[in-house]
Structure 1
Amino acid sequence: MKKIRSRVVEPETNEITIINNSEELHELFDDLKKRVKRNKNS
């Protein structure tokens, strides 16, 4: 399996997150889903 390195930039803060593997990517999406749910409930 090829290693992929990606950068994600948070638009509001310009914070850069570097993703080194798919597990980190899944964790990031899980966190994002939780944030979206919280914002919808607010």
Structure 2
Amino acid sequence: ADGFLVRLDGSTAIYNVDDEACGLPENIRKMIVTVRDSYRYLLNA
């Protein structure tokens, strides 16, 4: 599973976005998963 560095509410942490209980709000987690899976070119990967 990928870990993504996310800045949210002034703090930065690495989140495993494949884990629904990772601590991110669900709408943000789903957006990151969608970009990772369907728009990887936006991540310079």
TM-score by shorter chain over 0.5: no
Rg larger in structure = 1
More strand by share: 2
For CA contacts below 8 A with separation 6 or more, give which structure has more relative contact order.
1
TM-score by length of 1: 0.37
More helix by share: 1
